[in-house]
Structure formats: structure tokens, C-alpha cells
Structure 1
Amino acid sequence: MISGDVDAELRRLADDPSFPHRDAARHAIRFRAEGDVSDLVAIEDDPHPCAMTDVVFAMAGSKRTWLNWVPMPAEAICNVANEVGSRRAEGEDLGLVSLALSAAEPASAITASERVMGRVELGIGDFPAPDIRMPLRRGRYAIWRYDGTDPVPAVPAPSGAAIRVLHEVGGEPWSSPLSGYVQAEPLGALPLADLLGLLAHLPGPPDTPRWEYLAKSTPTYWYRLLQPWVCLGILRHAADEPWATSTRREVLLDLALGIEDWTADAALFALVTAAYRESELRAEVHQVVRARLNAAASAPRLVTIEESLAHLMLITPGCTADDRALATAVLARAAEAGEEDEDEQAPPPSKAEKRRWWQRRG
């Protein structure tokens, strides 16, 4: 994690005649001020890359969504789970028997919430079009299936050894996607079955002070964070295979274009990381990120990962003015909806609340 006044430090480096990567520091300053992804790409494509350019890249992305941290869960069921989990962590004996959602939410969000709350009787009012259960593109690899309205893992559970590796590698956010890629090497050494099992079965957090603290506020966040870590592991899996025909490419593309789920943006994040590292992958990755964002933005219903996808679009190499306009519009609309929610003191509900709600029953 980058600490201190990052902007001041970047200005110091840019003005230091003895610093060999002054141009990289200038690009970092511009990215933080203007958000143009071409400046991030220029840092990674420095003609003399070294550990210091990776540090400058991390400084450029400090406290930026996906570059430094994974977005918080945005689902209604996670809001309930965080409330239940945090109150239990404070010692309250709180039970929840049943829960109702007006519309379906991502399989990972439902599973993560049940990891926090325990199994509940879940009623889902509707699967509005486009059906969240339908992939954008059907591929070989899928980690979820649906038993009616209930998401069920379609892959075996991971081994205990795989869970231990995940806890060792993924207990903290990354300083940057580049450093995350390096840290994920032990995950990449795991069998593919273990990696897929980690994504669907969502083992609990490590026993560390960080996650004991977060259990009192946002216990679902661990499950949101672990999937991008696992996808970085998939990116490192069987790395000797040529990219075009590799298992890692096929798995990540199948997840990215699969059902509407946290695993879609987690896989896209890993692909974006690959695009920074290997310039020849950038056109394909850009196309996939835009396709997923297009699907979310055009949906006539709430898509809970839409904001996350917009943030990913803004850091994807090759992001065009049109891409940026769409992503910015998505984020502006979400911010406006959030302000409306804060201003409402009583019904009628906001547009988002009309399409997504929960209640306790029993």
C-alpha cells in the first residue's frame, strides 16, 4: 500500500534532475489529475522499466478503484448481510430466517451473504430481462449453475491447501495490479480445479486483525476481494502456454463473458492486468471490457456491477473518448441516484430502490 502524500512525492520526483524516470512521474501526475489511461500505459511502457517504474505506476493508481482497491459490494442482500454480520460481531444474538428480494442479484453476492448470515430462506420476486442467469457468451468454463432460482456451485470445493494459499496471498489489497500479479504467483501454481473452486465456494477470511475489524462493518468485502485475487492466480496458471490457445485465456474470457456476477468483473480485472503487461493483448481485452459494459449499460434494469465495470473501462489500455464518455455517464448516473437516496427521508423510494429491496420475514 502507498502511504503519505502521493501527489507531493510525485511532484518531487518529476522535478528531481537526478531521478531517471521523470517522464513516468509526470505521466502519473497527469493521470491523477485528468484520468487519461494513456498516461498509465506510458508509465508501464517506459523505455527503461525497472522496480521504480512499478512504484510510480502504483503511486499513480493510489486510492483508485481497481488500481488499488476492489469496489465494495453494491447488492441489497450484501447490505443486509453486513448489517447482520456486524451486529453479531459486536455480540448481538441476531437471527434471520428468511429474506425477500424483488429481483435476482449475482450468485457470488448471494453466496457471500449466506457465508456471513448463514443459510436463509431466500425469495426472489423476478428475473427481469436480460436474465442474470444467462451468459453473454456460453463457454466451456462456468462456476455457477441454477437450481431454479438458487445459485449452486458447478465445480467441486477447493482443497484446504488452496484455501491456505489464498489466505497467505490475498489477505490484503494490492498496491497495483502489477504488484498483485507478482504476489499471485503461488495461486497460479494451484490446480485449475482449486482456483475455480475458490471462486464459487468462497471460503471465509483469514484470521487476522484486518478481517476481524472488517467483520464489524463490511464482512462481505472479503468475498468481493478474494475473487480478483483468484483471477490473478488464473492469469498466472500454466503461464508457459501460448496466450492465444492457453487455458488461462479461455477461463478468464468465459468468466468475463459469462453470467452477470462478481466473477465477471474479477476476470476482466485480471485481463486488464494482462493488457498492461503485454501490449499485444490490449485490443482484445479492450473489446471484451467494452462488450461487458455495453451489456450492463443497455440493460433496462439495475445491474449491480455496472459501476464496477465503468471503473474498469476507465483503466483499460486503449480506452477511447467514446469508452470514457459511456463510463463517465454510468458513474454520474450512479452518483445522482446515490444523492437522491440520501435526500429521501421517507417513501416514495428512489428508482434503484423500486427495483431492488429486501425485507425480513418470519
Structure 2
Amino acid sequence: MEDPRLSADHDLEQARAALDRGEMHHAADHLAGAIAHAPTLPETHELLSRLAARADGGLELFPVGQHAFVGTVVARAHLLAAAGRPEDGLPLLAAASGHTPGMDWAGVPWVSEPSLGARMDPDMLARMVMRLCTAIGDPAPEAGREALQPYLTVVRHAVAAHPAHHLLLGAGSALARRVGDAAIAVDWATRGVRVRPSKLGEIWLGYAYRSAGRLPEALDALRRAVTHDPDDLSVYADIAGTLAAQGLLDEALEWIDRALARDPDFDCAVHTGHRLRFRSDGDVEHLVRLADFQRYHPDDTHEHTDLAECCQDVPWLGRVPSAPDASPDPRRRFPVASRPPAPRPSVAYPTVARAAVARPSAAAVQRLQRVAHPVWPHPPAAYDAAVGLLLVEPQELLGLLAHPPATPDTEVGRALAAHDPARWTRCVYVWACLGLLHHGADEPWSGSRRRRLLVELAAGGTDAITEAALFALVTYAWVEPAARADVADVVARALADVVTTASAQSADIAWSVAQLALATPGLAPQARELAAAVIRADEEGSTTATIPRQRSRRPGRRLLPHPLLGGRLWGWLTGRVTRSRR
């Protein structure tokens, strides 16, 4: 599949040879392969016609079962069209497009014939279009929209033949807005509601107006949908989202509260509500509660992306932030990974110098390189992604911290090596620490080896390893409510220490530790105020910025007035322009 045309040519060569030998089934297999690689290649369709002529239409050579190969499905669709049954072939093409929307399965002349739309049963076409809409996304990805245009052409012809079919008009509107034709979407949805007012028709119209940027009219339509069916709480969430797009958060949350009053566990309202409340006040507790809801309600009505959207590009919630200088002290001492006696708060665990930590094995390096990445959807997703590091022993994870490997030969690895090699090293620290969370998971958290190792790493210096260990602790607090009070205390103490430590290196990471603190579930208000002040001072860029004073646990240490030093934008990696300075 690296070169579809070469692959298709190879399959065509094999199909011709099989056809010459009279091996029809062998030829059909290769033709299906050629169509899967290059569905509109003229040579493929010419050979398909030859095969059909020699095999009584060829349909029996391309059976469609429960797990049919996509090339077989598409080939059968073309043979049905050649046999005068294009209305039977089109649903097969639509099924292929639902499977891989970016492929040009329907870009063939018979699909665009005006007679096809006229001869299709409008009810069946409407249902086919609705299934396709469900599969292609809303909106469809920009790169794949051209491949979906033939279906919109069929709907145009069908609407011309059946101008008063409300279901076809509504389904066609849904397809039109997904492929970027908002004007047609509004026109068809308006006509559909005019023919038969209904909840579904008003929803289609509301979405069409919203895609056209006509938000007040979208709200009017969605409110009318509620009058048709006050019990459909998904419409309440849609109204709230539309109001939020206009900046009307208070009114949006009123609709969310109305939905939650009817059903406190209705997933769309819960997800939208937490997202909007986080947008309103920036309190991470809304996202933590959303993550808890997702964990306890795995069977939602559909996939939600609210948590990932809120965490996207937020330091530590969705990515590793950059830092100007966060290299570990070469004298840093690492905790011993072997299982110690039952821990007590007063016991100091043995440590070893960094130089004494053995280098990790090649297998450990490969496992870490497979999972390490500078971005993740949200902290629970990062925790889940690190489960593969359960196969790397704790001592080797410590070895990865002491001796971080080179960037992998992957697209992301090459980009990091070229533009920001220090970020890769920080990725190694982050994922090695996340890996420690998965060892001894059956041990109670308070006395566990994984907690002891991470707390020692967090307290063993003031550098990127400190941040990585703190992030692992914060991540565990997201996925395990019983650990939240303990982790919040550890993070609060780390924040106070880094702010009150008068060294340039600790000042460099104070902003990052403050971001970690704001990502910590259950953080005390005083610590949250301190973290916010650190970040505010950094953003203001003024050495006179005021940070709330904390009582230092170390006599003689003065409070730093301003922990500055910014980081680089990283749109080159994420593909988007960031607003934050890190």
C-alpha cells in the first residue's frame, strides 16, 4: 500500500494471467485487490468487464458475506451496475465509503448518472445516506470530502425526482453539511421541515444553520425540536453547545442543568456540562469528575471527545511542556528499585548514585520508544498507554531515567531530533515514570513500592525528572480517587519547595510545577492560589510580579519574586498554533 498504483498494476498483471488460464476465481481475487488499491483505475474496470463477460456476469465470483474484503464488495457493486441494477450496487459502494471514507470508491460514471437518483427508492436512499453520515464524521475530514461528492450528486438527482420527500431532504442536508456545502444543507433542511415539521427535521435544520454560521437561527430550530420531544435530552446538550459557541455560557449551563435535572447520568449532558464549566472557570476538578464519570459509565450512547478537547495542548494535561534547562543533575541519586521492608514515614530508603544505575537493555529501550510520545489525549489515556511498560522491570525504568536513549527512527522521533531534542529526553522521563505506576499495582497505594519510588524521584532534585515523577503521581490521582489526598499533599509540598528554593535551575521549572499543581485533583486552595500566582507572574513577564508568600520549611531560603523563563512554541509538532508560551 506504500505505492497504490504499483500494487494495483501488480494485481492486474496477475489477474490477466489467471484470466488467460481460465482461472476465474484466481483472477477475481486479484481484481478485488487492484480495486482496493486504485478503485477508479480504467484498466481495472476494463478487465472487470472482460471477467464478467466470460463468467455469466461474474457476480458469483465476488460474494458478499459478513466479513467481505472491501475490494470484493466494490467489484460486486460495479458488476451489479453493469447488469442494469445500479440501485443495488450503490449501497455497496456506500458501505465501502463508510469503511474508508477517504477512498474514491464512488468516483465512476454510473454513480453520477441522473437516472440513478430517479430510480432509487427514496426511503432506502435516505437510510443509506444516514448510515454513511454516521460513519464519515461531522464534519467529514477535509481530505476525504471530494470522494464523498458522488453521493451528494445522487441525492441531488433524487431530490429533483422526489422534491417533497422530507426524510430524503433531511438526510441529504446532513450529508451536504458534512462535505462543506452549508447552503444546500440549509435549503434542503428548510424544505424538509416545511413538508413535515418534526423533531428530526428541526434538528437537521438546526445543524445546517449552525454549519452555515447562522447561530441564532440554529438555536430557534433546536428549541422547536425540544417542543416536539421534551424528553430528548441530547437536544438540550446541542442547544448548550450552540449557546456556548456564542459566548453565552450562563444560558448554556442553564440548559445543561435542565437536562441533568431530568437525568443526572445522561452522558451528553454530563460531558457537555463539565466541558463548559471548565471553560468558564478553568478548574481542573470539572475534568477530573468527567474522567470519573467516563470510568464508571463505559457504555455511553456514543463516543465523546470533551475531555480530550479540554486537555488538548494544555501543559501536562495533554502534552509535555518544553523548558529552557531542565537537565538532571549528574550527581542525582536514584532510589533502589528492589522491594524494601514495609515503609514507615521516618525511614530513609537507600539510594544509589546515577553513575551506578545500570544502562537499560535494548528490549527496554525498544518498549519505551514504542509508547513514548510528547502528546496524549488526557492523563487517564496516558496512564493506559503506559501499560505496556509493565514488561520493563522497575530497575530498567530507573536505568532509562539515568541513561535516556536516543530518539527512535519514527516520524515523531525524527521531528524531535531535528527541532527539539530536549523534549524527547523529557518524554523518556515522563513515560518511564508512568511505567513505574503499573508495577505492584495490587499493593495498597500508601505503602506501595511504586509510590515510594516516585516520591523519592520527585524529591531527589529539582529538574525534569522531578517534573516527570510528579506528573506520574498526578496521573495516578486522576485514575485512583483513593490516592488523591496523598498526591495533592506531595505536589503542594513540591510546589512550595521549588518556589522557595533560591536557585536558577529551580526557578526555571517553577512554572512547570505550578502547571502540574493546577492539574492535581483535590489540591488545597492555598496551594492552588500559589500555583496560579506563579503562572500569572510568568505570563506577565515582570520581575515585580507578586507571588503569595509561603512559610519556608528551610530557614535562610528567600522567596523568589518571579520564576520566569519561557519555552518554545511547538506548532511544528502538533500541527496547530499554540496560544501558550510553552
User: TM-score under structure 2 normalisation?
Assistant: 0.43
- Percentage of matched positions with identical amino acids: 35
Shift in CA distance, 207/338, structure 1 to aligned 2, threshold 3 Å: farther
- CA offsets per residue over residues 319-357 of structure 1, 9 Å max, x none? 2332222112111222334899xxxxxxxxxx9899xxx
Name which of 173, 177, 199 aligns with 2:401: 199
Q: Following the alignment from structure 2 to structure 1, what is the Cα–Cα distance between the partners of residues 278 and 457?
A: 29
1:20 matched to 2:267? The reply is yes
Indicate the residue corresponding to 1:37 in structure 2.
284
Name which of 203, 206, 226 aligns with 2:428: 226
- CA RMSD in angstroms, aligned pairs only: 3.5
1:49 matched to 2:297? The reply is yes
Shift in CA distance, 250/352, structure 1 to aligned 2, threshold 3 Å: closer
Q: Following the alignment from structure 1 to structure 2, what is the Cα–Cα distance between the partners of residues 13 and 107?
A: 53
- CA offsets per residue over residues 121-160 of structure 1, 9 Å max, x none? xxxxxxxxxxxxxxxx9953656x3xxxxxx434111010
Q: Following the alignment from structure 1 to structure 2, what is the Cα–Cα distance between the partners of residues 32 and 67?
A: 14
Indicate the residue corresponding to 1:298 in structure 2.
500
Partner-residue secondary structure (3-state), 1:21: helix
Is the helix fraction higher in 1 or 2?
Answer: 2
1:310 matched to 2:310? The reply is no
Residues 484, 521 of structure 2: 8 Å contact kept: yes
What is the 5 A alignment of 1:40-189?
40-46=287-293, 48-50=296-298, 55-75=305-325, 106-107=328-329, 139-140=348-349, 142=351, 145=353, 152-189=354-391
Indicate the residue corresponding to 2:218 in structure 1.
none
Name which of 281, 285, 306 aligns with 2:487: 285
Indicate the residue corresponding to 2:530 in structure 1.
326
Q: Following the alignment from structure 1 to structure 2, what is the Cα–Cα distance between the partners of residues 222 and 13?
A: 42
Instruction: Pick the structure with greater CA Rg.
Output: 2
Residue type at the aligned position of 1:23: V
Residues 163, 198 of structure 1: 8 Å contact kept: yes
Residues 171, 206 of structure 1: 8 Å contact kept: no
Shift in CA distance, 249/65, structure 1 to aligned 2, threshold 3 Å: same
Q: Following the alignment from structure 1 to structure 2, what is the Cα–Cα distance between the partners of residues 337 and 109?
A: 32
Shift in CA distance, 26/243, structure 1 to aligned 2, threshold 3 Å: same
Residues 319, 374 of structure 2: 8 Å contact kept: no
Q: Following the alignment from structure 1 to structure 2, what is the Cα–Cα distance between the partners of residues 262 and 14?
A: 41
Residue type at the aligned position of 1:156: A
Residues 157, 198 of structure 1: 8 Å contact kept: yes
Q: Following the alignment from structure 2 to structure 1, what is the Cα–Cα distance between the partners of residues 409 and 331?
A: 22
Is the strand fraction higher in 1 or 2?
Answer: 1
1:240 matched to 2:442? The reply is yes
Q: Following the alignment from structure 1 to structure 2, what is the Cα–Cα distance between the partners of residues 259 and 51?
A: 43
Shift in CA distance, 313/352, structure 1 to aligned 2, threshold 3 Å: closer
- CA offsets per residue over residues 203-243 of structure 1, 9 Å max, x none? 11110122222323211110011211111100011212222
Partner-residue secondary structure (3-state), 2:321: coil
Name which of 208, 213, 222 aligns with 2:415: 213
Q: Following the alignment from structure 2 to structure 1, what is the Cα–Cα distance between the partners of residues 371 and 452?
A: 24
Residue type at the aligned position of 1:59: E
Q: Following the alignment from structure 1 to structure 2, what is the Cα–Cα distance between the partners of residues 158 and 247?
A: 20
1:265 matched to 2:474? The reply is no
Indicate the residue corresponding to 1:357 in structure 2.
none
Name which of 518, 521, 539 aligns with 1:335: 539
Q: Following the alignment from structure 1 to structure 2, what is the Cα–Cα distance between the partners of residues 141 and 181?
A: 27
Residue type at the aligned position of 1:68: G
Partner-residue secondary structure (3-state), 2:322: coil
Shift in CA distance, 291/208, structure 1 to aligned 2, threshold 3 Å: same
CA deviation after TM superposition for structure 1 residue 192, in Å = 1.1
Residues 138, 254 of structure 1: 8 Å contact kept: no
Residues 311, 318 of structure 2: 8 Å contact kept: yes
Partner-residue secondary structure (3-state), 1:259: coil
Residues 192, 234 of structure 1: 8 Å contact kept: yes
User: TM-score under structure 1 normalisation?
Assistant: 0.68
Q: Following the alignment from structure 1 to structure 2, what is the Cα–Cα distance between the partners of residues 310 and 184?
A: 24
Q: Following the alignment from structure 2 to structure 1, what is the Cα–Cα distance between the partners of residues 319 and 532?
A: 19
- CA offsets per residue over residues 138-197 of structure 1, 9 Å max, x none? 953656x3xxxxxx4341110100000001111452211111111111112211111100
Residues 275, 287 of structure 2: 8 Å contact kept: yes
Partner-residue secondary structure (3-state), 2:419: coil
CA deviation after TM superposition for structure 1 residue 281, in Å = 0.8
Q: Following the alignment from structure 1 to structure 2, what is the Cα–Cα distance between the partners of residues 13 and 42?
A: 22
Partner-residue secondary structure (3-state), 1:45: helix
Residues 429, 465 of structure 2: 8 Å contact kept: yes
Higher mean alpha-carbon deviation, 157-166 vs 59-68, is at 59-68
Stretches of structure 1 that go unaligned for 5 or more consecutive residues are 79-104, 111-136, 146-151, 341-350, 355-362
Higher mean alpha-carbon deviation, 196-205 vs 13-22, is at 13-22
Shift in CA distance, 164/42, structure 1 to aligned 2, threshold 3 Å: same
Residue type at the aligned position of 1:73: A
Residues 108, 263 of structure 1: 8 Å contact kept: no
Higher relative contact order (CA 8 A, sep 6+): 1
Aligned length: 278
Q: Following the alignment from structure 1 to structure 2, what is the Cα–Cα distance between the partners of residues 51 and 179?
A: 17
